[in-house]
Chain A
Amino acid sequence: MHFRARSSLLLIATTLAALVSYAQVRPAAKLLWLDFDMKNIPEPKERPSSVYDYFFKNQVVEQTKQNLDLPRYLRAAVGHPKPAANVNAVDEVPDSSWYTNRHHLHRMTIDDLMRGPNQRGNPDFAGAVITKAKTKGVTPGLQLKDSKGDSYIIKFDNKKYPELQSGAEMISTKILYAAGYNVPENHLAYLDAKLLRIGEDVKIKDENGKIRSLTREDLDETLTRVARMPDGRIRVLASKLIPGKPKGPFPQIGLRRDDPNDWIPHEHRRELRGLRVIASWINHWDMKEDNGLDTYVEENGRKFLRHYLIDFGSTLGAGKDPAEYFHGRAYLIDTKSILKELFTLGLYESPYEKEGTVISPAVGMFTSDDFHPEGWVSTYPVLPFDNMTDQDAYWAMRIVLSFTGPELRSVVETASYSDQKDTDYVLRTLLERRSILARHWLPKVDALSDFSVRPLDGGIALAFRDVMIDSKTQDPDSTSYSYQVKGPRYTSEMKTIRNPSIAVDRVTLTAAIEHSGPDGLVEVTIWTNRQGSSSGPVKVYFDWSPTRDSFAVRRISRG
């Protein structure tokens, strides 16, 4: 009897919880460009960051939970996966402590793109002081304080692959910053080992695990294991310490319970979902939870968490060992791949077994000919990536396509490869991978953007961009657009045009506006026709001034 009562209780609680929680977080239907999640909060605790968190917890526990989420499969099966929660009325991501709209909405100059997050000048390491050191392990590291008093984490290139990780990190930092993410200030710097001073009380762990003070001999020995330039200097990636108190990585799934500003489950944040497309473009295969960081910052008298992406040394063709082909092609533990090997008795050759080609020591293994956008995966599963919808991918594609060729070349040149061929190769590969991405993701959506309305001869002209045509993914001759104009009690005939500009005449507009209230909107539904098939509709809603001499797009609805 007791057991039954308790079981019933648990059942009721579970059902209630399920009912309420499955009521989706719906974005407000308003044109909001700032999601103000920067209110003053108490100082959160530091979240742990370890293999357990990014491997066992994410890959085993959370991914299994997600894989057992039946409603999620049902929604996907009927073509309505859960949409991103932080999208405004015009299908964009508002600024927040996570994200700032940059290049794709507010064009950056080439200088801005090359500068990226580096807002306060270059470090000055002449006579810099070592404040921390890690001399053992595959990758040695130092922390330096420069002559201005700023602290930097110093990352060295592998002796066998000079310029590889530092170059990749420079390029990816600029791209991710321009894309809108919070990233650290990363600088290329050239150290003269003789000029480095060892600070007081710098401790290291020796080969027996004992803690002792760093000596000049330790430093010299450590620096024999890193790449040097012909003139003896050491090219390094200097990553400035991020402002604020580090509070550990943000969880890839769920909410940070000690952050009252955190209202949107991270797996439903569009900037994290859509990051899959950008990460696949730059082959950011090391996108584990550990490579995110929350810092408790104080800005304008308020203290809150700002959310960063960090550590881009394993992007493009780089990694500690660039010869590992499976990165970007299979998870570290890829059950599908393992089962394929198992059931084909080893005849199937998985990415673990394949050998790729190292293009050059500075480029590593960065290719486009075997790049498959759908099959690209990070080495550790990233749960928001699994929730990416076609709309999220389209949002990210617009960011990826926002870089012009010359802009991208300028970004690649910040890697300062000593061989021009490496610069050219990386640029060419980025452009090729971008084309492959566009051909894969854009046909899944309407691919229209940049809607604007202006008065025209008593009616209006609704202009837009066709991203597929602009990116040369689709021939304009085989594309047309069908549209209908709708008001509260009016629906026009469907018309078809060839150019991305819809002219709505005075009669149609008046009929659509008629009987609408003060908050009424006119809707234009557009279908994109390409080679005999139509996309899902995109609905553009606009309103007007009382004198009807100005119009504004208020909402965009896709799918």
Chain B
Amino acid sequence: MAALPLNLKQGSAVHRAIQAVVVLALVLFALRAATTWNRSGLSLLTDALIIAIAVTGLNLLVGFTGQISIGHSAFFGIGAYTTAILVDTYGWSPGWTFFPSVAVCFVVGVVVGLPALRLKGIYLALVTLALAVAFPSLLNRYESVTGGAEGIKGLRYLPPSWTGLEGRSDLAVWFFWLALGLLLITSLMARNLLRSRVGRSMIATRDNETAAEVMGVNIALVKTGVFGVSAAMAGLAGSVFALKLTLVDPTLFTLILSIELLVGMVIGGAALLWGPIVGSLVLVYGRDLAKSIGEDNNIDGLGGIMFGVLLIVLMFAAPQGLVGLWRRLRIKVVRILPKPPVSAAPPPTPSVDSHEPALVAAPADPDQ
């Protein structure tokens, strides 16, 4: 028997086979969920996928670019309200509202990102905190557009005819595939972005802003651009959320939501591509489990206390998130050696499984 850990070359046949098996397992799981799970099970999973879309955006900003945001509930809400207003006031077909929601949130994200050019750390956090706090008040203030405290109700989005799904009975299945598809695409976009020059610029900006600027990174462009992309992803999630819930109102997009998104990112693992997905699943299912425990035992607040304790334990056991923990454990069994760089230069010291992606050498693979 070979000594552990086993070394696998990235891109080798065995590595590809393992990846194929993982992908196949996930596809089979999704098919099984869509065809055999009941309404509530599928709805809960869909909620986790929607949150994961937003957390993926947040992870780009916080995890990979090093900018803090406590204001993502506002971007999520702007996406939701853009969809709701276009459907309710202007009679748009719900599916088409995703485009303007993404565009509006990108623009707002870029504008909100401007202070990030001069602010860092807790000061930037305060600016985004103000956004999160002000957003519900703004919704109340501009009642003629947003419906004020009553919000906008009665949003309807039935499965498109080409899906073969019909009516509200199949709505849970439709939203599951929609959320899964959008999460898949946003995750792949994030992955490819991080492997590109822009991604390396983001990581360089996070690791050492001065050094990155000296090396030619346009810090202003990177910071504001990532803020925009991150906000756009949160807005897309908000749009799907609004259509699934059939309504929007100011109480849904408070500071609590921002904190939940941050918690989802940290539980899963910041700066890791699988982190948002795992973190969102734990967040949504953990909250539901805690609620059920409270109902079953008829003890006020028991569920919330248990969920809080779980989060604390998780942070002690897995300070780099659950995906980080998984990587630490996996390294003891299998190490994946990255491809050597394309240049003829001798390969650098492998940075496999490091959390800090290399700047100049082979781009780190944050989804390993």
Q: Do A and B come from one complex?
A: no
Instruction: Spell out A's residues near B (CB within 8 Å).
Output: none
Instruction: Spell out B's residues near A (CB within 8 Å).
Output: none
